[in-house]
Structure 1
Amino acid sequence: MPNTSAPIVQSLLENDLYKFTMWQALLHSNPGAQAEYRFVCRNKPAFPLAELKADVERELDHLCSLIFRQDELDYLAGLRFMKSDFIDFLSVFRFQRRFIEVRANGETLEIVARGPIAHVMSLEIFVLYIVNELYFRRLPQDGVQTAARERLHAKITGLKEELRQNPADSAFPFVLFEFGLRRRYSGAWQDEVVRHLAEAAPENFRGTSNVHLAKKHGIVAVGTMAHEYLQAYQSFGFRLRDFQKAALEGWVQEFRGDLGVALTDVVGMDAFLRDFDLYFAKLFDGLRHDSGDPIVWGEKAIAHYEALGIDPTTKRLVFSDGLNIPRALALYRHFQGRIRTSFGIGTDLSNDTPHKALNIVMKMTACNGQPVAKLSDAPGKTLCEDGTFLAYLRQVFNHYV
C-alpha cells in the first residue's frame, strides 16, 4: 500500500482540522507564545525507531519546502469559522526547519519541536504520520493490502447488518467519523478507507478529521480542540485554577458558536465539570471523551446537564478514545434516546493490518518556558516531564488518578 518513492507529505492541507482551528485561536489570542513538543513511542516497535532518523530528516526537509496552494487556501476560506486574516497568514506560511530537531539516542528516536507556537504546533500530525509510514514501509508487504481490505469490508458489513437488525432511532442516528490521520498505515490506505466509507455507509459516515481528504472527497472536515489548546493556557498568566475557564472563554470569543464541542480530560472530567458551569454548558454544543471509562464519563455528563436544568437530548457526546465499530455501537445503544452521540474512530480504521500499530504521540511539554501537563482520566495518558509541576497541578484540581 505505501508508495515508497514519493514524499509522504503531499499537501500542507493534510492535517487534522483541529490543528487549523487551534492554530487560528492561539495566533489571535497569544501570537508570541513559545512552545515545546516531544515525540514518544509508547509501545515496542518491530525494530528500533532510531533507524528511521535519516529518513525522517529527509521528509521534514521536504515538509519545510511546501506552501499552501491557492485551491487549498480557497477551501479553508470557505469554512465559515476560518477568518480572513488567518488565511492571509497561511498564504505566506512555511514551516521552518530550525524549529524541529531529530536525534537517535541509542535505539530511541527523539524528535523535539521548539519555537513560536504558531510555527511548531502544527508539526505534530505531520511528524506522526511521517514516522508511521516510514516504519511500515520497512515491514513485509505481502498480503497486507488484501487483509486490510477484508477487515474494512467486514467492519462495514457488520455495521450495516447490526443497524438492519436493530435500526437506529431516526432522531438519534448512529454517526461515525474517521479520525485516523496520525497513526495511519499509509496515505494511500487512509484515502481508500475514507472513500469506501463514504460510498458504502453514507447514512452513518459523516466526515473525517483529515482536511485534505475532506476536500478531495467532498465530505465534512471534523474537529474542534485538542489537549494542547487547554494546556497552553496553563502558561498564559491566568491563575492555574482558572486556566480551563480562560481557555473555554477564549474559544467562545474566537468562534462565536461554531465548533462547539469541548474536550474534557486535560485535568479530568470531575475538575472539568466544576468549571463547565451554566454559561459554558449553554454555549457549547457538547463534550468529547478521550480517556477513562466512557460510560461513567457519559453518565456524569448527562447528570451535569440535568443538574443545570438543560435537556441532555439537545447536547452531543463525541467519543474518540481507542474505539472500534462494535464498541461504538455498544456506547450508542447505552446512551440512545438520552443524549446525541457520535464516534470518532482512528487507528482501527486507518491502520488495522496484520502488522501491530505503533502507539506514538507528540505532545506539548512546555509553553512560555514553563511546564504544562495533562492529568488524564486514564493513568497511562498523563504526560508531564516536571514532577513538581505535576504534583502541584494534582493538588490544585484534586486529581490523583
Structure 2
Amino acid sequence: MKNSFIVSSLLDNDFYKFTMQNAVIKLFPLVKAKYKFINRGQHSFPKNFDKILKENLNKMAYLKLSNEERTYLEKFCPYLDSSYLDFLDKYQYNPKEVNISQKGKNIQMNIEGAWSSTILWEVPLMAIISELYYKLTGAIPISNKKIIILTKKKIKKYKKLNVKIGEYGTRRRFSYQVHKLILKILIEEGYPIFIGSSNVHFSHIYSIKPIGTLGHEWIMFHAAKYGFNIADRIAMENWIKIYKKNLGIALSDTYTSPIFFQNFNKKLANTFKGVRHDSGDPISFIKETIKHYKKFKINPIKKKIIFSDNLNPCKVANISSFCKKKINPYFGIGTHFTNDVGLSPMNMVIKMDKTLPVIEKKNKNNWISVVKLSNVEEKSTGKKNMIFLAKKNLHL
C-alpha cells in the first residue's frame, strides 16, 4: 500500500486547470492563493490516512512533463503557446504548499502559495484522497467484468438518445485503473457520441483532444479583485484576451445565473460558443439562456449548453429532449462513469478559499476571502460573513 503511486503523470489532471494556469501566468503572475478541503460527505478517515496521503504528495514532486507529453500538447492544444509549455517543462509540484493534519477521523487540508503554482493541486489531490480512502477502508468494488458491462449499457442508452457526451470524472474516480478502463471502453464503443475526456493524461494515452475550458476559481478571483457585480464580465473579457475565440464556453453559476446573464452582454454572448450549466434546475436554465440569446437576436441553435451537474442517463434524457431544435446540448459525465462500482462515491471538494490579489510590501497579509454563490445553497462555498456580503451586494 505504502508504495502505491496513484498519480504518475503531470498531465493526470483536468484540462481546465492547465488552461487557467496559462491565463494566470499571463495576467496575474504575482497573485497568491489559498485552497481548502471541504468534507461535504462527513467521511470518516482511517488512522494514519494523513501520513499515507503525504507520502503520495511527496512523490508528486518528482513528476515532470516528458518530451512526448509536450509534443502531444503542441499538437492537440495549439492555443497553449510555447511560453506556457516552457513554464510547464520546468514546473514541479511543491508538497510544502500543502498542509495536511488529522484529528481522529477528520482530515484538514490547506494549500497556499503562488496561484500559478497551487492551481494544479486540486484535481489530483482529490483523485488521490478518493483512491486511498477506498483502499484503506477495505471497500470492495464490483468486478471489472461488471464495470465493463455497466459502462457499455450506459453508452447504449446515450447512443439511443443521440447525445454528445464527455468524461469529466478525474476528481472523484474510484481508482486510476477504473478510470483508464472506463475511457478505453468509451473510446472503443462510444463513437460517434463520445467527444472526449477532461483528463489530459488519458487523452494523451489514447491520442484524443482533451475537453474543458475554465472553472469557478477564475471568476471567484475576479470578484475578490474587481467586485462581485462585474466579476463574471471581467473574467470573460480576460479569458478572451488569452484565448480569442478558442475555449469559448462561459461558466454561468459562480454568482448565480441571473447575475451571470446581467454580465453576459451582446459582445460576450456573440463571442462565446456557449455556456456551461453546473447547478440549479437545468430546464429553467435552458429557457433563460434561449431568452437571453434571442434578446440579442442571436440564433440559439448556433450555440451550445454544456451540462455538468451530477448527470445520469435519466437526467440526460430529460434535458436533451427539452433542448431539441432549440439549442445544442453537450453532457460532461463525471462520477457516474468513473465511480459507479457498487459503492457510495465520496462527496468532497477542494475550493479556493482566499486570494492575495495585490502584492504590496506594506500589506503582506491583506488576504481576501473568496466566495462562490451557486444556484443551490449546498454548492456555495466561502465564509458566512462573506456570503452574506456577496448576497447583499448582488441584491440576492
- The answer on 1:312 being equivalent to 2:300 is yes
Specify the alignment match of 1:152 in structure 2: 151
Separation in 1, partners of 2:85, 2:375: 36
Per the alignment, in what secondary structure is the counterpart of residue 325 of structure 2?
coil
Question: After the TM superposition, which residues 102-251 of structure 1 pair with which residues of structure 2 at under 5 Å, given as runs?
Answer: 102-138=100-136, 139-141=138-140, 143-160=142-159, 162-163=160-161, 168=162, 174-236=163-225, 238-251=226-239
Checking the alignment, whether the CA contact within 8 Å between 2:37 and 2:348 is kept in structure 1 is yes
Question: What TM-score do the two structures reach when normalised by structure 2?
Answer: 0.94
Residue 287 (structure 1) aligned to one of 275, 286, 289: 275
Letter in 2 for 1:156: I
What do the CA deviations read for 1:106-160 (whole angstroms, capped 9, x no partner)?
3211111001001111100111000011011132336443443332232223334
Separation in 2, partners of 1:50, 1:21: 37
Change (3 A) 1:355 1:280: same
Specify the alignment match of 2:94 in structure 1: 96
Aligned length: 384
Residue 59 (structure 2) aligned to one of 59, 62, 75: 62
Q: Percent identity?
A: 28
Question: What TM-score do the two structures reach when normalised by structure 1?
Answer: 0.92
Change (3 A) 1:259 1:355: same
Checking the alignment, whether the CA contact within 8 Å between 2:19 and 2:214 is kept in structure 1 is yes
Per the alignment, in what secondary structure is the counterpart of residue 184 of structure 2?
helix
Q: Which moved more, 1:147-156 or 1:269-278?
A: 147-156
- The answer on 1:258 being equivalent to 2:255 is no
Structure 1 gaps of 5+ residues are 169-173
Letter in 1 for 2:275: L
Separation in 2, partners of 1:322, 1:82: 29
Separation in 1, partners of 2:7, 2:148: 23
Change (3 A) 1:44 1:354: farther
Q: Which moved more, 1:318-327 or 1:132-141?
A: 132-141
Structure 2 gaps of 5+ residues are 357-366
Separation in 2, partners of 1:388, 1:191: 42
Separation in 2, partners of 1:137, 1:144: 15
Checking the alignment, whether the CA contact within 8 Å between 1:49 and 1:109 is kept in structure 2 is no
Superposition misfits of 4+ residues, deviation over 6 angstroms: none
Checking the alignment, whether the CA contact within 8 Å between 2:255 and 2:374 is kept in structure 1 is yes
Letter in 2 for 1:31: P
Specify the alignment match of 1:380 in structure 2: 378
Separation in 2, partners of 1:285, 1:357: 32
Specify the alignment match of 1:171 in structure 2: none
Residue 353 (structure 1) aligned to one of 341, 345, 351: 341
